[in-house]
Chain A
Amino acid sequence: MRFMLAVQNDWSVPLPTGAEWDESVARVEVVNDDMRAQGVWVFGGGLTDPDTATVVRIESGAVTMTDGPFIETKEQLGGFWVIDVADRAEALEWARRCAEACAAPIEVRSFDELSQG
């Protein structure tokens, strides 16, 4: 079963720098390596600042663009993993490891049946 493990970052707090940042990158790398070693890793990536987002939509037939994220909240998606595991319990266990590595809450959501690869 495929799950999305979405990192909920508080973007009002500046990202760590220097050694602190290197440590968090290293912790995430360990999780990535373990996911790959156990064959559950499907996709993973970190996103740039939500300020760099653009929303595209159709309004009365014309395409319009707006600067910034769709929802202006303090917490925004900072990155995510897609994993393929046996069940929800296993997904939650990976989520625990991701939450520890990223020092941020992880929202776990399953993919619909059409997106099971």
Chain B
Amino acid sequence: MPTDLASVYRAEYGRCVATLTRLLGDISLAEEAVQDAFTIAVQKWAELPPNPGAWIVTTARNRAIDRIRRESTREARHVQALLLHRGDDEPEEVGPVRDDQLRLIFTCCHPSLSPLAQTALTLRLLGGLEVPQIARAYLVPEATISQRIVRAKKKIRDARIPYRVPTEAELPARLPPVLTVLYLIFNEGYTASRGELVRADLCREALRLARELASLMPDEPEVLGLLALLLLSEARRPARVGPSGELVTLAEQDRSLWDRAMIAEGHAIVRECLRRNRPGPYQIQAAINAVHTDGPTTDWRQVLALYDQLLQFTPTPIVALNRAVAVAEVHGPEAALAVVEELELPGYHLLPATKAELLVRLGRVDAARAAYAEAVALAGNDAERAFLQKRLAELS
């Protein structure tokens, strides 16, 4: 039973908060009510009801009404919001509504909120993660995360950030922050900026939310592109870390450890995106990952062509650096080194690390050693640092 309840909580928490936010007109009230309902569920459920989400929503709504009646200090507008939604057209048994999750995700990722607040709110409200988990993932004090969440909820309420899905015309500006937040959550899990290399819980949560978003917005190619990118990265996660927690490069990965089903799903989405022919940065990154996971070796010419295309969408030094790796495979290390030496990425360990790899291939050992030492000093997580130290040691 507790295991069942935990999985219901994980699957339904965000949906229920989303629906209750619409019914109550206030996020904090919605959270309290959903938590109350789960507390009651722990006591009452001898076995799972047929539709646990609907049970939680109905119970939460009733509890919220009781609570508001009891606490007369609550602001009148909350009561009004609640009463507004108690019309005859409202069915008694209200299950989680899919559109509500979209509303909530766009509200959490509203561009007027700071990036950290967007991420923290999304993980808290839609992922049901607790503040200490979020704080651990982002290596900031718990007080910082709870303060950001409180402030963001206050801003949503006081500045009246609307609780609705943006219109078609607004989507070009409003969808990117949502995709960025999901991508950052995944990336933080995939390459934790400090400490251990992978935080599987964050990867899984980002993938779950991307899947939800894709099923809610099946006509947005970039949403599909993000889902495919996360699937193709997640599929390789088991092979990315060696037995003692060290990083294993793509070329050295044991491909039998890859998740074949996820790769097949990712490839199918990439093909679907190609057919739609409305490319964007996430779709191109997904396509690059599709090439990497297609067959026993990578077709680097295709990867380079995709990076050329990606660079047009996102002309950033990080993309240029990743492209340089493909340049090395297609045109040789000399050409790639010329590209890398033009780049400026202060504090980013992968710039000297890439430079070092190229210098090794060119036989310039002393310069390579210096570049590796620089990369070791900048590396944030233990596995990557260990990997770079090993490479450096091999040169001595």
Quick check: do A and B touch in the complex, using CB within 8 A? yes
Interface 1/0 per residue, B320-363 and A, CB below 8 Å: 00000000000000000000000000000000000000000000
Cα A48 to Cα B151 in complex, Å, equals: 13
| A65 interface residue (CB < 8 Å to B) | yes
| B158 interface residue (CB < 8 Å to A) | yes
Q: In the complex, are the beta carbons of B114 and A67 less than 8 A apart?
A: yes
- The answer to whether residues A52 and B159 also contact, given A65-B112, A67-B112 and a CB cut-off of 8 A, is yes
Of residues A48, A54, A67, which shows the largest number of chain B Cβ atoms within 10 Å of its Cβ?
A67
Cα A54 to Cα B152 in complex, Å, equals: 12
Q: Which of B111, B117, B151, B155 contacts A65 (CB 8 A)?
A: B111
Q: Which of A48, A63, A67 contacts B113 (CB 8 A)?
A: A67
Q: Which of B117, B158, B173 contacts A67 (CB 8 A)?
A: B117
Name A's interface SS: mixed
| A93 interface residue (CB < 8 Å to B) | no
| A51 interface residue (CB < 8 Å to B) | yes
Q: In the complex, are the beta carbons of A52 and B111 less than 8 A apart?
A: no
Q: In the complex, are the beta carbons of A51 and B112 less than 8 A apart?
A: no
| A49 interface residue (CB < 8 Å to B) | yes
| A68 interface residue (CB < 8 Å to B) | yes
Q: Which of A54, A63, A66 contacts B159 (CB 8 A)?
A: A54
Cα A65 to Cα B114 in complex, Å, equals: 9
Cα A67 to Cα B116 in complex, Å, equals: 11
Q: Which of A48, A53, A63, A68 contacts B114 (CB 8 A)?
A: A68
Q: Which of A51, A54, A63, A66 contacts B151 (CB 8 A)?
A: A51
Cα A34 to Cα B117 in complex, Å, equals: 44
Cα A53 to Cα B155 in complex, Å, equals: 8
Identity of the chain A residue whose Cβ is nearest the Cβ of B111 in the assembled complex: A65
User: Which residues of chain A are near B117, meaning CB under 8 Å?
Assistant: 67
State which residues 156-196 of B face A: CB under 8 Å: 158-159, 173
Interface residues on B, range: 10 to 19
Q: In the complex, are the beta carbons of B112 and A49 less than 8 A apart?
A: no
| B67 interface residue (CB < 8 Å to A) | no
Q: In the complex, are the beta carbons of A49 and B113 less than 8 A apart?
A: no
Cα A66 to Cα B110 in complex, Å, equals: 11
Task: Count residues on chain A whose CB falls below 8 Å from chain B CBs.
Answer: 11
Interface 1/0 per residue, B295-327 and A, CB below 8 Å: 000000000000000000000000000000000
User: Which residues of chain B are near A52, meaning CB under 8 Å?
Assistant: 154-155, 158-159
Q: In the complex, are the beta carbons of B111 and A51 less than 8 A apart?
A: no
CB proximity of A77 to chain B, nearest CB, Å: 15
User: Which residues of chain B are near A63, meaning CB under 8 Å?
Assistant: 173
CB proximity of B295 to chain A, nearest CB, Å: 40
Identity of the chain A residue whose Cβ is nearest the Cβ of B177 in the assembled complex: A65
Cα A48 to Cα B161 in complex, Å, equals: 14
CB proximity of B307 to chain A, nearest CB, Å: 24
Cα A49 to Cα B150 in complex, Å, equals: 13
Identity of the chain B residue whose Cβ is nearest the Cβ of A55 in the assembled complex: B112
Cα A15 to Cα B114 in complex, Å, equals: 25
User: Which residues of chain A are near B154, meaning CB under 8 Å?
Assistant: 49, 51-52
User: Which residues of chain A are near B158, meaning CB under 8 Å?
Assistant: 48-49, 52
Cα A49 to Cα B114 in complex, Å, equals: 16
Interface 1/0 per residue, A29-66 and B, CB below 8 Å: 00000000000000000001101111000000001011
Identity of the chain B residue whose Cβ is nearest the Cβ of A66 in the assembled complex: B114
User: Which residues of chain A are near B155, meaning CB under 8 Å?
Assistant: 51-52, 67
Interface 1/0 per residue, B102-114 and A, CB below 8 Å: 0000000001111
CB proximity of B284 to chain A, nearest CB, Å: 21
User: Which residues of chain A are near B113, meaning CB under 8 Å?
Assistant: 67
User: Which residues of chain B are near A68, meaning CB under 8 Å?
Assistant: 114
CB proximity of B206 to chain A, nearest CB, Å: 22
CB proximity of A18 to chain B, nearest CB, Å: 12
Cα A62 to Cα B154 in complex, Å, equals: 28
Cα A52 to Cα B173 in complex, Å, equals: 21
Identity of the chain B residue whose Cβ is nearest the Cβ of A48 in the assembled complex: B158
Further contacts, 7 of them, CB under 8 A, given A53-B159, A67-B112: A49-B154, A49-B158, A51-B154, A54-B112, A65-B112, A66-B114, A67-B155
Q: What are 9 residue pairs bridging A and B, where the CB atoms are less than 8 Å apart in the complex?
A: A48-B158, A51-B154, A52-B158, A63-B173, A65-B112, A66-B114, A67-B113, A67-B117, A67-B155
**9 closest A-B pairs (Cβ-Cβ)?**
A54-B112, A67-B114, A52-B159, A48-B158, A65-B111, A52-B158, A52-B155, A65-B112, A67-B113
